[in-house]
Structure 1
Amino acid sequence: MEIDEELTLKKIQIFLAFMRCGNLSKTAVEMQISNVSVHKALHSLENSLRCPLFKNEGRNLIPLKSAYVLEENSKKIVQDIVTTVNKTREAAGFASKIFHLGSLYSLTVNTIPSIISGLKLRRGDLDIQLLLNSNLDLVKKLKATELDAIIVALNETTQDQEFECLPMFQDDIFLAVHKNSKYAALKEIDLSQLKDETFLILAKGFATRNDSDFVFEKAGIEPKVFLQVSDIFTLISMVSSGVGLALLPGRISTIYENSVKLIRLKRQYQIKQEIGLVFLKRKERDPNLLALIAECRMFSRNV
């Protein structure tokens, strides 16, 4: 049997509301439409089904046996549709019970713990899975929908028409030295005078590596690299051991603070690293993502 195009889900929902409420006025209030619209929907439903559902007793509509049969089976249909929609949205990563968040290693010092704690308060049943990696790799995983959102440095890697970016805070880049270094007592330093010093650097793809390359070039020096590492904590540990110098963001100042000193660069070499939330525009209405956006905005106001 061919289904009439006038038989819509909206009319079924109005019908079910009427069967629950028992009259036009209460149904209109529940569905937030007029009495006339309720009556038209019920009459149209009868026409599309090609059979009566009610009989008139004065100004009242009295359900027939056909109405009760439709009610029983329609409840199943509506529930199946709701289940189907939810499963479809979960498959696409919308309102899933698992949220995949990507971030930089350096942001785990205080930013990410605060964000995740707030997000769990907003959505307590959400399973948050955190992936730490470089800016470049996280951006690639976001675009491939392997991640739901990332909190990273906003730079050329995040400039994509598919992305929406929410700036959160800015961080300065400092020279990190061992506390017993001959430079440790300085309040600021001229990077161009460190041509003969040994440096430790992050691997390519990390935001701080990109910023370091820019600052080194601006200072006109080719750094003597002792070691290249793939996470910022190893880098800080090596600096604390006195192996070499490094350029690092200020947010890591609490790590090894008894053995590592951060020195501000002279004005001409100063650079700011902007940290923010990045997500796919097509997912901006996902409830989980909306909760994360709200939490990131709150965090940015308190920085």
Structure 2
Amino acid sequence: MDLKLKDLRYLVAVADLRHFGRAAARCFVSQPTLSAQLKKLEQSLGLQLIERAPNNVSLTAAGEAIVARARRIIEASDEVVALARSQRDPLAGPLRLALLPTIGPYLLPRVAPAIRRALPRLELRLYEYQTAPMLERLRGGELDVGILALPVELDGLESHELYREAFVVALPERHPLAAHETLRVADLKGETLLLLEDGHCLRDQALEVCSRAGVREPQDFRATSLETLRQMVATGAGVTLLPELAVRGAYRGARGVALRPFARPAPVRHVGAVWRKTSARRAAIDALGKLIAEHAP
């Protein structure tokens, strides 16, 4: 039996999307072609892999088991291609880069020009994920490198710290604490602390910073972005902590918001790169990380 890599890609696409049309679009083939190839794959294996019902596509138990192995085969194949490419020119070709939503919008404008100048043949493919799905995709071979807050559970991954980023307090502009040049964590005692929704590591970091200050978290509010937090602070709903890069440049002058640094030693988050131990793109990852470390602070 001669298994074709493209058929395994078709199967994984159906497993991911649970829809033949969208799976075909992702694989750049027509739906009839994808469906016919998967039927042939099932006939070759002598197993039903996919349950087909109106408006519902699911995998059989055998299909789930084979998809798990197909992912590893595809990852290994991609690594072979990446390794060959990296040996020819390690700083060229596509590099799949993911960033946290609380990092990407503020970091990329600072580092992108330097990356384009220093690594003109590197093609960055950018993605945005929260920590858990980013790590899952890194381990699964869907991403080459992630930029996120450390530490994280590595389990087959490696990491390197790139920079440290201080937290800044965002207050309503008429808040009494806005009269201070710097603040201590203890100054936030009794304040209403506005936070991101569950799943954002910045939420956990802010809670850790303020855990001893006796702040109050409203139970009826969870923001989906730093910009929502910023706007809610401007309305007087409470205070929040923002990472330093999110209060620089165009983001510094938000109307109705006063920004105050913490007195030293200020609480910080540690931002780093994470990649697979087996990655063939280590040279490109190292070069990218060096540029980020140089231009982010």
Q: Same fold (TM over 0.5)?
A: yes
Aligned to 2:195: 201
* Contact 1:153/1:275 (<8 A) preserved: yes
2:173 paired with 1:173 = no
On the 8 A contact 1:212/1:247 being kept in 2, the answer is: yes
CA contact (8 A) 1:99 1:126 kept: yes
Alignment: residue pair count: 214
Task: Provide the residue aligned with 1:127 in structure 2.
Answer: 123
CA RMSD in angstroms comes to: 3.2
1:264 counterpart letter in structure 2: P
Q: Please, what TM-score do these two structures have when normalized by structure 1?
A: 0.59
1:261 and 2:258 equivalent?
yes
Deviation at 1:212, TM superposition (A): 1.3
Paired residues for 1:136-155 under 5 Å = 136-155=132-151
Query: Paired residue for 1:289, among 260, 267, 285?
Result: 285
- Larger of the two Rg values belongs to structure: 1
- 1:287 Cα offset (Å): 4.6
User: What is the CA–CA distance in structure 1 between the aligned matches of 2:114 and 2:108, rounded to whole Å?
Assistant: 10
Q: Are the structure 2 counterparts of residues 120 and 220 from structure 1 closer, same or farther at C-alpha, using a change threshold of 3 Å?
A: same
- Cα deviation for residue 101 of structure 1 reads 0.8
C-alpha change, 1:106 and 1:183, in structure 2 (3 Å) is same
* Distance in 2, Cα, partners of 1:200 & 1:252: 16
Identity %: 21
SS of residue in 1 equivalent to 2:288? helix
- Tell me the residue number matched to 2:6: none
Q: For 1:99 and 1:227, locate their aligned partners in 2 and report how far apart those are by CA, in whole Å.
A: 37
TM-score (norm 2): 0.60
Contact 2:85 2:93 (C-alpha < 8 Å) held by counterparts: no
Q: Name the residue aligned to 1:214.
A: 208
- Quick one: distance in 1 between partners of 2:79 and 2:190? 60
Q: Secondary structure, in 3 states, of the residue corresponding to 1:183? A: helix
Q: How does 1:69-84 map to 2 (within 5 A)?
A: none
User: Residues 133 and 243 from structure 1, CA distance in 2 versus in 1: closer, same or farther, beyond 3 angstroms?
Assistant: farther
Matches within 5 A, 1:233-244: 233-244=227-238
User: What's the counterpart of residue 280 of structure 1?
Assistant: 276
**d(CA) in 2 for partners of 1:273, 1:93:** 35
Counterpart residue type for residue 263 of structure 1: R
Unaligned runs of 5+ in 1: 1-84
**Structure 1 letter corresponding to 2:165:** D
1-side partners of 2:138 and 2:79: how far apart? 21
